[in-house]
Amino acid sequence: MTEVGIFAVEDTSAQVCWRRLRPGSTISLGDASVEVQDHRPGAASLDGLPPSTRLRLYVRPPGGGAARRVGAVQTLAPPPGELLCRFATVNDIHLGERRFGVLRRIRDEPGSPLEPYPLRCARAALSEAVAWGAEAIMAKGDLTYHGRPQQWTELGRLFAGVGVPISAVLGNHDVGRRAVDGRPELASSGISMPHDAFSVDLPGLRVVLAHTAIAHRHHGAVLGRQRDQIAELVGAAPGPAFLGMHHYVQRFRTPMAYPPGVPGDQSRALLDAVIAANPATFVSAGHTHRNRRRRYGPLVLTEIGATMHYPGTWAGYAVHEGGIRQVVRRVAAPDAIEWTEGTRRALCGLWGLIAPGLRSHRCFSHTWPARS
Ligand SMILES: [Fe+2]
Ligand SMILES: [Fe+2]
């Protein structure tokens, strides 16, 4: 995104985000528009758009000057069949983190009256996902920064107030050297997190969640027994499945980018087992804090960015009879997006270029392959 741009697109809506516009400016896309209220970075959902239609984005200055064309987007075609349910995922919440960047200089203003940035971004992400229509939330690891008791307590309180069922798995930050087991604390807030892979059945989709984190290690693993459990769970689904994990599946044994995920040999064994069990499976991870998509045979594999580092995201899934639609939206609450905009300067600005990924990797419809 430069000054203003379309971050997310769906079949009938789009999310526009802006870094800095004059208050009173109007952003319009098709027949939908929003007026900018202040000088802060912002985001808005423009709804009621026609599906599968090319639309132009305009910005009109305050006072009614000539509108300037600043972009265009094609709204998505919905997947085939009726909409059956919506759910959302969050990952890399990092409750307890206090600084970001290689030199760790990006942090909340000392004495800020706001909640710490991981908490306010996560709270906003969850609330915006529910407002979008998510009937359940899947939290894909790195829920805390160090897995300390206070961080689990804070997470339990946060999740307890969301209002829809939440299921969670662990990330490497949750099982670091100073971490304690957060399961009892989460259980007291009504969040169960079994040790083994487990499933949650939603209308039209079985969600399978699997722990990939190894105590005190940065990379992940999916070995024999767990791989068999995952394959069994996706294979026993009455229809399509969604596999959520913290670590992404590497292409090769050695990671080609930081941070390391699940080594390539383990990844291929897992994905081949999933294809054999249920080729109508969507696989999604976190951990990299970036947004990416690739294919592995009939499977779609995605990585979703963190809630609290630029661009600051959560993912929504619309489950249809014949397919699934993913949308990645930026956390839009003003105090959250103002923070995440500030983190784009990490890595000398490189972070702002690599973290968002392509819009077509974030937002797309996928038709399920036939299941023999
Ligand atoms: Fe993380
Ligand atoms: Fe991680």
Give the tens place of pLDDT for each residue, 54-80: 999 999 999 878 999 999 999 999 999
Distance 291 CA to ligand 2 centre (A): 14
d(CA 91, CA 95): 11
What ligand is nearest to the CA atom of residue 170? 2
Give the burial class of 126: count Cβ atoms within 10 A of its Cβ; 0-12 exposed, 13-18 middle, 19 or more buried. buried
Check pLDDT > 70 for residue 1.
no
Check pLDDT > 70 for residue 372.
no
Interval 75-122: pLDDT, tens = 999 999 999 999 999 999 999 999 987 767 889 988 889 999 999 999
Q: Do the beta carbons of residue 132 and residue 103 sit within 8 Å?
A: no
Share of the chain above pLDDT 90, in %: 87
Distance 79 CA to ligand 2 centre (A): 31
What ligand is nearest to the CA atom of residue 262? 2
What ligand is nearest to the CA atom of residue 176? 2
Whole-Å CA distances, 348 to 105, 132, 223, 290: 12, 34, 38, 17
Q: What is the pLDDT of residue 331?
A: 98
Share of the chain above pLDDT 70, in %: 99
Q: What is the pLDDT of residue 339?
A: 95
Domain with CATH 2.60.40.10 in the chain: 4-74
Q: What is the pLDDT of residue 258?
A: 81
Give the burial class of 81: count Cβ atoms within 10 A of its Cβ; 0-12 exposed, 13-18 middle, 19 or more buried. middle
Taking the mean position of all CA atoms in its chain, how far away is CA 92? 9
Distance 319 CA to ligand 2 centre (A): 27
Which residue's structure tokens are 């974030």? 362
Distance 252 CA to ligand 1 centre (A): 21
Q: What is the pLDDT of residue 333?
A: 97
Domain with CATH 3.60.21.10 in the chain: 83-367
The CATH number of 4-74, from 3.40.50.10240, 3.30.70.270, 2.60.120.330, 2.60.40.10, is 2.60.40.10
**pLDDT mean over 160-181:** 95
Which of 252-266, 294-308, 351-365 has the least mean pLDDT? 252-266
Q: What is the pLDDT of residue 370?
A: 82
Q: What is the pLDDT of residue 2?
A: 57
Distance 11 CA to ligand 1 centre (A): 30
Q: How many helices (DSSP H) and strands (DSSP E) are in the chain?
A: 8, 21
Interval 193-231: pLDDT, tens = 999 999 999 999 999 999 999 888 989 999 999 999 999
Domain 83-367 has CATH 3.60.21.10: yes
Distance 335 CA to ligand 2 centre (A): 24
Distance 209 CA to ligand 2 centre (A): 15
Interval 316-366: pLDDT, tens = 999 999 999 999 999 999 999 999 999 998 888 899 999 999 999 999 999
Q: Do the beta carbons of residue 233 and residue 227 sit within 8 Å?
A: no
What ligand is nearest to the CA atom of residue 247? 2
Distance 132 CA to ligand 2 centre (A): 26
Distance 101 CA to ligand 1 centre (A): 13
Distance 217 CA to ligand 1 centre (A): 13
Distance 307 CA to ligand 2 centre (A): 12
Distance 91 CA to ligand 2 centre (A): 9
Residue 145's closest CA among 188, 96, 200?
A: 96
Q: Do the beta carbons of residue 284 and residue 89 sit within 8 Å?
A: yes
What ligand is nearest to the CA atom of residue 97? 1
Check pLDDT > 60 for residue 43.
yes
Distance 93 CA to ligand 2 centre (A): 10
Distance 157 CA to ligand 2 centre (A): 22
Q: Do the beta carbons of residue 231 and residue 269 sit within 8 Å?
A: no
Distance 171 CA to ligand 2 centre (A): 5
Residue 332's closest CA among 125, 138, 34?
A: 125
